[in-house]
Structure 1
Amino acid sequence: MHQKETKLINRCKKGNEFAQMQVYDTYAQAMFTIACRYLNEEEAKDAMQDGFLKAFINIDKYQPEATFGAWLKRIIINQCLDVLKKNKLEFNDVEVSELQIINEDDWHFDSTITKKEILFAIEQLKEKYRVVVKLYLIEGYDHEEISEILEIPIKTSRTHLRRGKLKLQDLLKQKYNEARY
């Protein structure tokens, strides 16, 4: 974190509202974009606002080992997940069967499929799979972090990711096959 941002965060820690508005203005669009990955626009706005409030209330807990943006992003994502949980999204109804181990880093798609099409296909997944796929693939969290964030066993995170990935591949194969005919 560079010196200018450190000074700004320190002013926020002292309750300086002007500094808080500067932080909000700096990060609001990026945090809204992140919130929209999980919630509809209206819920995303509310979750983002609540996330910023939590961040400012708990700003003394911020440690500069991580960038402020990364710390804030985690708060926003957690706020979105709280909304999903309130909406009764269940993550732990997985019957973990003997699943073959797959390479989770192998996300190869046909080269003619665009990033936009992949993101659209992710939106078609069941919500519990979609959230895990997004946390893993887009946000870059590992299963231990996902398990902590969603309060689910690591095995459940792995299973949701695997099922989400298989469904995503099916959706994209359908898209590819439709495009060929």
Structure 2
Amino acid sequence: MFQIDLVTKCKQNDRKAQLKLYKQYCDGMFCVAMRFLKNEDDAEDVLQESFIKAFEKIHQFKGEVTFGAWLKRIVVNRCIDFLKSRKERLVALDENYMQLVEDDDWTVEEETTVDEVKQAIAALPDKYKFVVQLYLMEGYDHEEISGILGITANTCRTRLLRGKGFLRNILKEKAYGTGS
């Protein structure tokens, strides 16, 4: 059965079609949730909530993107909402007045492993971590990230630039043994 047929049947509340879509996407979406939440129980909870929301809102799916991309956005938003609800303290900084210089150089020391980069991203403050993670690991652009996080594209660029600076410092400290 083709994906569009499954989606059409899901729109008709067909439970078998919903189960097929769930089985098709649950592992991949679990990996997305784990990259954000770093906890299997939390990732499973958010994943279940995401599928429930997706099936409740499936009539809004117009096929402009793949079902997987549409679902991934729901999972990412649920992960961010979950993390925000766990950390009620938010510091508002107005970053819209800053001048930006685009920097597309993401190179790191050759000895740096992917796991070290992931650990360094996890150590970033949330407002930078989410932007860096969405940009580097999930492949979203500034406009998409700003839509997901509810920030301006300029704020997104600023946070990405600052996040990259923090990331480089964390990796540099680790490389030179000055980190904890």
TM-score range, shorter chain: 0.7 to 0.9
Q: Which deviates the most, 92-101 or 169-178?
A: 92-101
Q: Supply the distance in 2 between the matched residues of 1:85 and 1:177 (Cα, whole angstroms).
A: 33
Distance 2:19 2:53 in 1: 14
The question of 1:111 aligning with 2:113 is answered: no
Q: CA deviation at 1:57?
A: 0.9
- CA deviation vs aligned residue, 1:13-53 (integer Å, no higher than 9, x gap): 11111111111111111111111122233222211111101
Contact 2:100 2:158 in 1 (8 A): no
The 1:164–1:5 alpha-carbon spacing in structure 2 relative to 1, beyond 3 Å, is: same
Uncovered stretches (5+) of structure 1, i.e. residues with no partner? none
Q: Which residue of 2 aligns with 1:44?
A: 43
Pairing 1:50-65 to 2, within 5 Å after superposition: 50-65=49-64
Measured at CA, do residues 60 and 44 of structure 1 come closer, stay the same or move farther in structure 2, by a change above 3 Å?
same
Q: Which runs of 5+ in 2 are unaligned?
A: none
AA matched with 1:18: K
**Distance (whole Å) between structure 2 residues aligned to residue 112 and residue 174 of structure 1:** 13
Q: CA deviation at 1:97?
A: 5.6
Q: Does 1:27 align with 2:14?
A: no
Task: Tell me, yes or no, if structure 1 residue 170 matches structure 2 residue 166.
Answer: no
Determine if contact 2:100/2:157 at 8 Å carries over to the other structure: no
| Runs of 4+ that moved beyond 3 A | 89-92, 94-100
What's the CA shift for 1:99?
4.2
In the alignment, the residues of structure 1 paired with residue 2 and residue 134 of structure 2 have an alpha-carbon distance, to the nearest angstrom, of 30
Following superposition, the deviation at residue 107 of structure 1 comes to: 0.4
Contact 1:91 1:152 in 2 (8 A): no
What is aligned with 2:77?
Answer: 78
TM-score, scaled relative to structure 1: 0.87
Q: Give the match for residue 9 of structure 1.
A: 7
Matching residue's letter, 2:40: E
Change (3 A) 1:42 1:34: same
In the alignment, which residue of structure 1 is the partner of 2:90? 90
Q: Residues 68, 100 of structure 1: CA spacing in aligned structure 2 closer, same or farther, 3 A cutoff? A: closer
The alignment's C-alpha RMSD in Å is 2.0
